[in-house]
Amino acid sequence: MSSSDFRHIAIRTEAGKAERLFRAAVSAFCSLTRPSRREIAQLEDLTLPLFDEVSVESRRYVAAALSECEYAPAALVRRLAEEPVEIAAPLLTRSNALSDIDLIALIGRHGLPHARAIARRKELNPTIAQLIRALEKPTLVKTRPAETVAKLAPVEAEPTSTTENRRPDPGVAEEDARRRLRSMMRRAGEGVAVNLFLGQPTYVKLRETALTGNAAFFQTALADALDIDFAMARSVTEQSSYAALLAALKALDLGEDRAFLIAVALYPGEFPHPQAIRLFLDRYRLLHREAALDKVRGWKAETLSRAIRGNAIETAGGGRQASNGDEKAADRKAS
């Protein structure tokens, strides 16, 4: 099937047949050897509005088809990956459209079912593999005593003394493990103060530019968010550690999971194991926002100082040029 067949499939399909259109569009797309960006965007524009109208069977079919597609549209794949594991499993196991950041976020939101499917991926990032092992064996993931007591406290009667009754129910253990990992990847908005400084579009801009792998894009977005110049934003992100970035993200009042997603995109080498992630989250929690804002105020002051110095130099240069022009004019009159 040619690319023109894919582009016109919506016209050939009977109106109102969401199921048929959804499946046919993806089938046509998967037949393309090397789809263009325009064709990828066309597929997303066509299928995403239909997503909530199609059946579970159609979603499962499309997930399986796209899992084998080398150039699958990322937005559609991410939407399907949020589905129950019975639908998402082929994508979680094989799709190249899911980045490491996507996989970590999926584990944080969906727990063991998604994690076990992700564990079957070839060449899985070692950090993610260790996170999954920690989730499978929750005793390896340390939590604060108060949290542990709150999560494991019995709700009704005290357990009997028999060995069988003391053995934890597998479903309870799984849910506890899921909660522990979710504490590391807390969803945005849980326990976070209302953000008066950063709007959703700005966070999305920071996240998306960080995920491009192009440092200049993220530095530009960070400069806009903090109201500092590009040179200062570059100095914040080009340090050997994420300490300065930590202050920038805290000043923007980002939630833990949002801050972590950006940090791991910029400093992937800083998170080789779950303990490194735990250290980041602990440091982020302990960093007082006022201290972070003081740091940003210092950056703004330095930005302003550079601007003043630059204006002074330009003014002085302009004065010298005017003076030289006057001298040359005087010399011409004298001659």
For residue 122, pLDDT over 80 is answered with yes
Which range has the worst mean pLDDT, 6-15, 187-196, 200-209, 210-219?
A: 187-196
Average pLDDT over residues 151-158: 40
User: What are the C-alpha distances in Å from 245 to residues 29, 104, 226?
Assistant: 40, 20, 12
The string of pLDDT tens digits covering residues 238-282 is 988 899 999 999 999 998 888 999 999 899 888 888 888 889 998
CA-to-CA distance for 286 and 270, rounded, in angstroms? 19
Classify 33 as helix, strand or coil. coil
CA-to-CA distance for 220 and 212, rounded, in angstroms? 13
DSSP calls for 219-276:
HHHHHHHHT--HHHHHHHHSSSSSHHHHHHHHHTT--HHHHHHHHHHH-GGG-SSHHH
More confident residue, 335 or 182: 335
CA-to-CA distance for 312 and 283, rounded, in angstroms? 41
pLDDT over 70 percentage in the chain: 68
Which range has the worst mean pLDDT, 7-11, 207-211, 327-331?
A: 7-11
User: What are the C-alpha distances in Å from 229 to residues 1, 31, 98, 137, 176?
Assistant: 50, 47, 33, 46, 45
Q: What is the pLDDT of residue 331?
A: 59
Q: What is the pLDDT of residue 78?
A: 92
Contacts of 10 by beta carbon, 8 Å cutoff, 6+ apart: 21, 25, 46
Which range has the worst mean pLDDT, 129-133, 178-182, 200-204?
A: 178-182
More confident residue, 212 or 286: 286
What is the chain's mean pLDDT, rounded? 76
More confident residue, 170 or 86: 86
Phi and psi torsions of 91, nearest 5°: -70, -45
The string of pLDDT tens digits covering residues 83-114 is 999 999 999 999 999 988 888 888 878 888 99
Average pLDDT over residues 125-129: 84
